[in-house]
Amino acid sequence: MKLTMMHGAGGELMDELIKNVILRNLTLKSAGSVSLDALDDGASIDVAGEHFIFTIDGHTVKPLFFPGGDIGRLALSGTVNDLVVMGAKPLAIATSLIIQEGFDTQTLEKILHSMDTVSREVPVPIITGDTKVVEDKIGIFVITAGVGRAEKIIRDSGAREGDAILINGGIGEHGFAILSLREGISLDTTLKSDVSPVWKCVKSVAQEIGWENIHAMKDPTRGGLSEALNEIAQKSKVGIKIWESKVPMREEVHAMGEMLGISPFHMANEGKVVFSVSKKYAEDALTAMRRAGYVQAAMIGEVIQEYTGKVVVETEVGGRRFMERPVGDPVPRVC
């Protein structure tokens, strides 16, 4: 098998690569209660009764700068968010920079400034790193690793029948912002990426309803909302029903999806969280998110007994269809 860009873009092909090639060739894969085999957003390191979440990401976005952010903001936010959706307060970040020979130092400083800005927003310190300069024409790759202390380990396999499915804002903004820039698509208003750390959002919900009432979380990055919901449904062995009209979406996102024939449900997000919470606490969770500044937060569905492992979309006219997993992200190199 020869790898394609789609094998690294989220979705079914990437899932096959990880399970059939990567996991099969590794043997020691656990340092705690959540191992590599769980294929969650991170894994746990269990020490003296405490659980620490560890995660790592490689970022190769093209172009490096885009409306709403750049590769530096993306790298820090992405790693922070992978810790947060597993119930962990970020403690520290490490970064590795792989830089093309001849890369402009002023551009590098802009990227580092963005990383520092996110570091202070969370806050989480960048405490160690590594730098390489190579002759390959790569521009810059930013690899970030993070560790956090789990308030309660939250798995993407914990959704329960009767739970409410919540999201903290509109979908598809990151993917379509980059696509519009690449393709020179002009819109009436500038569509910006949603790239941001979500610790404030998740902490607000946890403080309002308790960590124990958040049963599953996922940040819908590569593969978008569709991939995130399908992962939760499959791993939790439940069905998920989504009300299409309830999913928040900017008009520009909807218009670009219609124009290009790309589903916003498949497009990457970089500042969103999908929650599965006890239904009786759903309104309290939404209130907490809105109070924290996430005014588009919405209940978009529920966990059901039927259609185990599947996501069902209920349309505005009352029809139903399955929300299929994407084969890969329709826009490569977005994160």
144, 170: one domain: no
Q: Is the Cβ–Cβ distance between 302 and 163 less than 8 Å?
A: yes
Q: 321: Cβ–Cβ under 8 A, 6 or more apart, which residues?
A: 312, 313, 315
143, 216: one domain: no
List, for residues 271-280, the tens digit of each pLDDT value: 999 999 999 9
Residue 189: what pLDDT? 65
Cα–Cα distance, 154 to 191 (Å, whole number): 32
Q: Is the Cβ–Cβ distance between 333 and 19 less than 8 Å?
A: no
List, for residues 92-118, the tens digit of each pLDDT value: 999 999 999 999 999 999 999 999 999
Cα–Cα distance, 82 to 145 (Å, whole number): 10
- Look up residue 135 and give its amino acid: E
Longest dimension (CA), the chain: 57
Residue ending a domain, among 120, 150, 180, is 150
Cα–Cα distance, 274 to 220 (Å, whole number): 7
Residue with tokens 């172009």: 63
- 43: β partners: 54
217, 259: one domain: yes
pLDDT at 3 over 90: no
Residue 187: what pLDDT? 65
pLDDT at 328 over 80: no
Task: Supply the CATH number for residue 200's domain.
Answer: 3.90.650.10
14, 140: one domain: yes
Question: What are phi and psi for residue 90, nearest 5 degrees?
Answer: -60, 135
Is residue 155 situated within a structural domain? no
3-state secondary structure of 18: helix
Task: Supply the CATH number for residue 99's domain.
Answer: 3.30.1330.10
Residue ending a domain, among 123, 150, 177, is 150
Using a pLDDT cut of 70, give the percent of the chain over it. Answer: 98
Tokens of 284: 């309290």
Is residue 159 situated within a structural domain? no
Residue 190: what pLDDT? 78
Is residue 230 situated within a structural domain? yes
Residue 16: what pLDDT? 87
Is residue 329 situated within a structural domain? no
Is residue 241 situated within a structural domain? yes
DSSP H helices, 154-223, are 173-183, 199-209
Cα–Cα distance, 198 to 81 (Å, whole number): 6
13, 146: one domain: yes
126, 71: one domain: yes
Q: What is the DSSP letter of 244?
A: G
Is residue 262 situated within a structural domain? yes
List, for residues 282-292, the tens digit of each pLDDT value: 999 999 999 99
Residue ending a domain, among 150, 177, 210, is 150
Is residue 215 situated within a structural domain? yes
Could you tell me the pLDDT band of residue 151, with boundaries at 50, 70 and 90? Answer: confident
Residues in the chain: 335
Q: Is the Cβ–Cβ distance between 85 and 273 less than 8 Å?
A: yes
Is residue 333 situated within a structural domain? no
Half-sphere exposure of 107 (CA within 13 A, CB side): 12
298, 203: one domain: yes
58, 102: one domain: yes
Tokens of 306: 């039927």
- In this prediction, residues 59-69 reach a mean pLDDT of 95
pLDDT at 185 over 80: no
Q: How many Cβ atoms are within 10 Å of 23's Cβ, its own excluded?
A: 14
138, 102: one domain: yes
292, 170: one domain: yes
Range of 270's domain?
A: 164-322
Q: How many Cβ atoms are within 10 Å of 158's Cβ, its own excluded?
A: 17
Please name which of 29, 59, 57 lies closest in space to residue 45, comparing C-alpha atoms.
29
Residue with tokens 């049963």: 215
Could you tell me the pLDDT band of residue 188, with boundaries at 50, 70 and 90? Answer: low
14, 89: one domain: yes
Q: Is the Cβ–Cβ distance between 78 and 144 less than 8 Å?
A: yes
Alpha carbon of residue 261 to chain centroid: 23
Question: What are phi and psi for residue 275, nearest 5 degrees?
Answer: -115, 145
185, 259: one domain: yes
Q: How many domains does the chain have?
A: 2
pLDDT at 72 over 70: yes
- In this prediction, residues 201-219 reach a mean pLDDT of 98
User: What angle, rounded to 10 degrees, do the helices at 71-84 and 199-209 form?
Assistant: 20
